[in-house]
Structure 1
């Protein structure tokens, strides 16, 4: 609902601006001349072009952030895999250590 109100108010302001700025102007872009264009079209066109360019820049930034997050997710997944492997290795070493202690204790008792 707030978006609808904002759009309606923006439309009313644009219509008011357009009715007050109907003077024709000429625009020269490079070697091209555009004659008798209403001033409100130039101003509103510039506004829309700016919004379009900022949207494109924002989209590029979002895509870049998405790739960065994907890279970090892959790194986290790789780190978790390494953690699981190291945990298994620690468990195996603990079992081997316990077997060696048992073997050493058994050998010490035999020698007594």
Structure 2
């Protein structure tokens, strides 16, 4: 069954209905794929930013843990009154 297609000032006449349906389906699939890809790229950058924040936070936690350990050692030195107190922890920093 031939149909006419009007696209603004352009008109196509005697186009089979099957082509109109197939064209609409293909255009819909292409547009949905483009929207999906844009969303996927956006999500990728969002996750990357979050991973960088997590990495920086872990580094900060490590530095703070080292500082706490050093302060605990200083506290023990002050408590015992000894300047030559060596850490008994073999894994001490």
**Residue matched to 2:76:** 98
Deviation at 1:102, TM superposition (A): 1.0
Runs of 4+ in 1 over 6 A off after TM superposition: none
Structure 2 equivalent of residue 26 of structure 1: 4
Root mean square deviation of aligned Cα: 1.1
Equivalent position of 1:40 in the other structure: 18
Structure 1: stretches of 5+ with no match in the other structure: 1-22, 105-112
In the aligned structure 2, how far is the partner of 1:27 from the partner of 1:94? 81
Q: Which residue of 2 aligns with 1:11?
A: none
Q: How many residues align?
A: 82
Q: Which has the larger radius of gyration?
A: 1
89, 102, 105: which is aligned to 2:67?
89
Q: Which has the higher contact order (CA 8 A, sep 6+)?
A: 2
